[in-house]
Chains A and B, each alone.
Chain A
Amino acid sequence: MNRRTLLASAAALSLAAGAALAQDVPKIAFVYVGPVNDGGWSQHHHESAMEMKDHFGDRIEIVEQESVPEGADAERVLTQMALSGADLIFTTSFGYMDPTINVAQKFPDVKFEHATGYKTADNVSAYSARFYEGRAITGYLAGAMTETDKIGYIGSFPIPEVIRGINSSYLHAAQANPDVEIAVVWLNTWFDPAKEADATQALLDQGADVVLAHTDSTAPLSVLEKAGAYGFGQAADMAEFKPTPRISSIIDDWAPYYIERVQAVLDGTWESHNVWQGIGDGMVGIGEFTGPIPEDALTHVTRMKEDIASGAYHPFTGPINKQDGSAWLAEGEVADDGTLAGMDFYVEGVSGEIPN
Chain B
Amino acid sequence: MDPVLLVASIMVSATPILLAALGEMVVEKSGVLNLGVEGMMITGAVMGFAIAVTSGSPLMGFAGAAVSGAVLSLAFGFLTQYLLSNQVATGLGLTLVGLGLSALIGSHYEGQRAPALGKLDMPLLSDIPMLGRMLLSHDIMVYVSLALVAAVWAFLKYTRAGLILRAVGEDHASAHALGYKVVRVRMAAIAFGGACAGMGGAYVSLVRVPQWTEGMTAGAGWIALAIVVFASWRAFGVLIGAYLFGGVTVIQLNLQAAGTTVPVELLSMSPYLITIIVLVIISARGVQGAPASLGRSFHASS
Q: Consider the complex of A and B and state whether they touch directly, i.e. have CB atoms less than 8 Å apart.
A: yes
Instruction: Report A's interface with B, CB cutoff 8 A.
Output: 35, 37-39, 152, 183-189, 191-199, 201-203, 205-206, 208, 217-219, 222-223, 226, 240, 351-353, 355
Interface centre among A37, A186, A194, A355 (most CB of B within 10 A): A194
B254: Cβ under 8 A from any A Cβ:
yes
User: Are the CB atoms of B264 and A218 closer together than 8 Å?
Assistant: no
Q: B210 is contacted by which of A192, A195, A222, A353 (Cβ under 8 Å)?
A: A222
User: Are the CB atoms of B211 and A193 closer together than 8 Å?
Assistant: yes
Residues of the A chain whose Cβ atoms lie less than 8 Å from the Cβ of B13 = 194, 198
CA distance A208 to B103 in the complex (A): 34
Given contacts A35-B214, A194-B216, A198-B9, contact A240 B113 (CB under 8 A): yes
14 additional A-B pairs beyond A195-B218, A355-B264, beta carbons within 8 Å, are A37-B110, A183-B256, A186-B256, A193-B213, A197-B208, A198-B9, A199-B253, A199-B257, A205-B6, A206-B254, A206-B258, A219-B211, A222-B209, A352-B259
Interface centre among A183, A201, A355 (most CB of B within 10 A): A201
User: Are the CB atoms of B257 and A203 closer together than 8 Å?
Assistant: yes
User: Are the CB atoms of A35 and B16 closer together than 8 Å?
Assistant: no
CA distance A71 to B215 in the complex (A): 21
Say how far A249's CB is from chain B's closest CB, in angstroms.
14
B288: Cβ under 8 A from any A Cβ:
no
Q: A186 is contacted by which of B16, B211, B268 (Cβ under 8 Å)?
A: B268
Given contacts A194-B204, A202-B250, contact A39 B213 (CB under 8 A): yes
Q: A194 is contacted by which of B5, B113, B220 (Cβ under 8 Å)?
A: B220
Q: B217 is contacted by which of A194, A218, A355 (Cβ under 8 Å)?
A: A194
Given contacts A184-B256, A193-B209, A194-B208, contact A205 B1 (CB under 8 A): yes
Contact with A along B31-46 (1 / 0, CB 8 A): 0000000000000000
Say how far A124's CB is from chain B's closest CB, in angstroms.
30
Contact with A along B85-118 (1 / 0, CB 8 A): 0000000000000000001000100111100100
Say how far B51's CB is from chain A's closest CB, in angstroms.
18
Residues of the A chain whose Cβ atoms lie less than 8 Å from the Cβ of B2 = 205
User: Are the CB atoms of B209 and A194 closer together than 8 Å?
Assistant: yes
CA distance A201 to B5 in the complex (A): 9
User: Are the CB atoms of B211 and A198 closer together than 8 Å?
Assistant: no
Q: B218 is contacted by which of A185, A192, A222 (Cβ under 8 Å)?
A: A192
Q: B249 is contacted by which of A198, A218, A352 (Cβ under 8 Å)?
A: A198
Given contacts A186-B256, A355-B265, contact A35 B215 (CB under 8 A): yes
Would you mind naming 9 contact pairs between A and B with Cβ atoms under 8 Å apart? A35-B214, A186-B264, A196-B209, A197-B209, A198-B208, A208-B257, A219-B211, A219-B213, A353-B264
Cβ-closest chain A residue relative to B210? A222
Cβ-closest chain B residue relative to A355? B264
User: Are the CB atoms of A205 and B257 closer together than 8 Å?
Assistant: yes
B229: Cβ under 8 A from any A Cβ:
no
Say how far A210's CB is from chain B's closest CB, in angstroms.
13
Cβ-closest chain B residue relative to A220? B209
User: Are the CB atoms of A202 and B256 closer together than 8 Å?
Assistant: yes
CA distance A195 to B216 in the complex (A): 10
Interface centre among A198, A203, A217 (most CB of B within 10 A): A198
User: Are the CB atoms of A183 and B258 closer together than 8 Å?
Assistant: yes
User: Are the CB atoms of A37 and B214 closer together than 8 Å?
Assistant: yes
Residues of the B chain whose Cβ atoms lie less than 8 Å from the Cβ of A226 = 116
CA distance A187 to B252 in the complex (A): 11
Residues of the B chain whose Cβ atoms lie less than 8 Å from the Cβ of A353 = 263-264
CA distance A152 to B257 in the complex (A): 8
B12: Cβ under 8 A from any A Cβ:
yes
Say how far B103's CB is from chain A's closest CB, in angstroms.
7
User: Are the CB atoms of B259 and A39 closer together than 8 Å?
Assistant: no
CA distance A201 to B250 in the complex (A): 9
Which residues B206-246 have CB closer than 8 A to chain A?
Answer: 208-211, 213-218, 220
Contact with A along B141-171 (1 / 0, CB 8 A): 0000000000000000000000000000000
User: Are the CB atoms of A188 and B268 closer together than 8 Å?
Assistant: yes
Residues of the B chain whose Cβ atoms lie less than 8 Å from the Cβ of A355 = 263-265
Residues of the B chain whose Cβ atoms lie less than 8 Å from the Cβ of A189 = 218
Residues of the B chain whose Cβ atoms lie less than 8 Å from the Cβ of A194 = 13, 16, 204, 208-209, 216-218, 220
Cβ-closest chain B residue relative to A351? B259
Q: A202 is contacted by which of B110, B111, B253 (Cβ under 8 Å)?
A: B253
Q: B111 is contacted by which of A195, A198, A240 (Cβ under 8 Å)?
A: A240
Q: B5 is contacted by which of A205, A222, A240 (Cβ under 8 Å)?
A: A205
CA distance A187 to B256 in the complex (A): 10
Residues of the B chain whose Cβ atoms lie less than 8 Å from the Cβ of A205 = 1-2, 5-6, 9, 254, 257
